Chains A and B, each alone.
Chain A
Amino acid sequence: MNIKFSNVCAFLAYTLLVILPLWLAVDRLVWVAGFDPSAWISSLENNYISQGVIEFTFYQALISTIVTMAIGLPIAWQLGRYKWPLQSVVKAILTVPFVMPSIVAAMGFLYIVGKAGLDIRVDESTWFATLIIAHAWFNMALIIRFCEPVLSTLDPKLEEQMRLLPAGNTKYGRFRNLWLPLLAPSIAAAACMTFVFSFTSFALVRWITLGDNTLESVMAGVGSSAGIEGYMISRNEIVLGSSMIQFTILLISLFLMSWLQQKRQNLLPQASEVIVKKRNPKGWAIIGIGVLFSLSPLIAVLLASFRIRNTDSSGTNYSWDTSGWEFAFTSSNSISSAWEALFNSLGYAAITLIIAVPLGWILAQTIIDVEKSRPRLARTLDVLTMLPFAISSVMIGLGVMLGMIRIDAEFFYSFWPTPALAHIMITTPFVVRIMLPALRSIEPAYDECAKTLGITKWRRFTEIKLPLLKGSILVATIFTLAMSLGEFGASWVVTRNSDWTTLPVMIDSLRSIPYKNSLTAPAACAVSSVLMGITLILFTWAEKFRSARDGGMF
């Protein structure tokens, strides 16, 4: 099969938009710091800014993964094995945290542990536990999405047969010989993803554990002074060292994930008939707590946006009003209005959508087009489109920033769409991942049959291919919009030296204003509520089109 012109163009555009900025960034950093990987790694320990970061990053990611499993697995089991009233609503509530922007979660948890909630924030020793719980809140959806489909659609005959065999005549026997082997790849895949997301956590670490840093937050912190010739060379080394460790860990995780996913697919013997499930009243203890846990930070954010601290000579008291919202939506000398942030966020999301969805789609189509005739090329292209997964969002932000410096700093710092480039880099690989299985699921016979009916190429596209792909295109669209609107790490790095702000960056800026202004925290929560509202609408919409058995994270 000949490679089409559009396929070549798509990969050129992808290289230009995604690979080139990253290449330029690494090139710039190496140019300043010199090529010495061992010095990059040792600089992490030698600099007081980054001392202990490697250990902390690994440790918190590991503990987060264990706690997420402990919380998520019982919920997935209850959800998958028993019948629940309003099952789809319960499932949506339990999985919504995963799509929430991390900064919104950070605001919610800060309110819960703050004075108005548990009032444990003053005790520094609780910060680590709060971070772990926040990570578990964020990632439990992964466990549910990966494990619940296996539990809920498994052929009941397998369990019935097991009951009649010596190896499965006890609950433990069935768990050991049936459920565990079947669930193991799903659990491992979810654990792998949880580890990756906790490893690269930025907003939650930045706001919950003040003083403690992950590789991601260190990179974000020192990145703004990196890439300048002869200036703070150690910071370039820190960025290179951090990104090298992250890249290695993420790459290993990617391979592991891909292997586990394959094993997982092979272990999904679906029941051919409708499975009749029992109710489990006792299970409400788990599902109820799960729903409450899932909703708490979101409700907290909304409540916190209306709760105003008033301090006078008589002491501190609290009132409920909308002044936080008014403060957020009115510009001041120090901070722009939430309207402006909303406009920017929507604008960047629109640009990202216009470019990332068609680009991701054509890239996925290209991989499929060459799969049969040139499998090795298809695999290479596949890996290339996954490369940004192995790079954290802060590194992508640095890539855009340093790439801008290399090409024309002045132009790009005054070019409003620049932050959208980082969003395109982050979202395009997700679009490819959503579109690939959708395109693969279209039988070649559909197109062949249409050809023999004399249907033109355009009609085959509009009347057959497009309607068949409608659901996946919509999921990709909604996912791209949600990711772009909630993106924080890369936007924070890119917009630092510019006047543009996005909703997540504005939340961060508002919360960074000294605490004596009593409206900044409610205003940050007001903007968080806006972002949360938009994400909820998009999530609910996407759920309608998501295949019930895709079992993936999207």
Chain B
Amino acid sequence: MQIAERTEWNLLATPLVAFLLLCLGFPAVVNLVYSVSDISFATLRSPTLSGFGNFAAVLSDGAFWRANWFSLRFGLLTAALECALGLFLAIFLAPLFKERSWPLAILMLPLMVAPALVGLMYRLVLHEFAGPVPHYLWQWFGNSPAFLGPNSAFWTLIVVETLQWTPFAFLLFHMAYHAIPDEVREAASIDGANAWQRLFRVELPLMLPTIAVALLIRFIDGFRVFDNVYVLTGSGAGGSTASLSIYIYEAFFKQGAIGKAVAASVLLFLASFAILYGLNMLARRKKK
């Protein structure tokens, strides 16, 4: 009876596990094999083992480290900005959402638009002849910077990403803030806490786990950014805006350097696995 039941549970989960093994497990193996192989589009099906040459090539490639550095800075900066702005909006605007929720829908709207399309929209917004931003800057200040030129591209991309995803952080904080029971706030007031003390001593500490989660999610999304950066600058601006995702994509599709692209994928996989494993361990220890 027990064994039969066990089998039935396993059967129910089998399709998903099989699907993931086929679509992710197999590719992971292909990655590993190809990363230590001599491979080109001509020899795609018959890789010959060649040791760690691909890894050496990636690790000695200046563009790989520049891409890492871009992704790291981009992820950290956008996560910090999005969470700071989102936290401010969630707390300062909280009374507005008490009786009505349509303002929430307006702030959430950017989350529904494809990041690739948002990137394309900014091509229009920032265009020197057709875009309103340069138009008004010329009109008001008689000058407008080259937003996507080598000097400003990084900061333009930071603003683009931050404006689209601040609503995500805002939303998480909004829900965490409203999940704090009213009794807790009342108790703090009765104890003589003023609004600021209540915010810093009671509300923010209660929201801390959500803040940590939001920072993490936004950092990961910023680190692996592809869509909006790709359509706005490509690796453009002298390669200064190539994220790690763009580096891998271009190594494969533009240069045909399969070995290098695959080796970089494996390195990225190991790094994300190590970070996620560490975080899970940390979370588990906290629960105990």
B and A form one assembly: no
